[in-house]
Structure 1
């Protein structure tokens, strides 16, 4: 199901690119293709929504906020990993101290 959602996202991105081309070079003769692409986009977004309902993926709000701020979500992953490593080293230091005492 996730592969179908990914395919739908890629198709939507392609449709958006085509729409961008249509809008940037718009003329009255290109109105019908533009409307057809808009309808295709709406249909694909509907398909994507239906497919997404079957996926149970939870994204932390921190990641969504980073994306909204225009930052790379990999930074969140790196920061969480570094935090875990630091806490692990502190805990290891405490256990080593107790072993010596």
Structure 2
């Protein structure tokens, strides 16, 4: 797994090793801080989007409504795949919650 803080630390150390003086160091740290904030924001938004889709997809009424949009000849296969995907994401979310509790 990629540790974003380590990567930004290496980049920051490299940038600070360049001889631009104090102003360049402060500007570099500011730019890296903004970049880290943007990456963290996009990561958080992606996690919220995935969880929103999961919780919406696990709602039985919504699942039935979406299944009605699929042709009847392929509906059974679609429902089976949707259930497998929902279960897999559910197991992933439960695993992440468990890891969070253990790490906390």
Structure 1 length-normalised TM? 0.39
Larger radius of gyration: 1
Structure 2 length-normalised TM? 0.38
- The structure that is helix-richer by fraction is 2
Q: Structure with the greater relative contact order (CA < 8 A, sep ≥ 6): 1 or 2?
A: 1
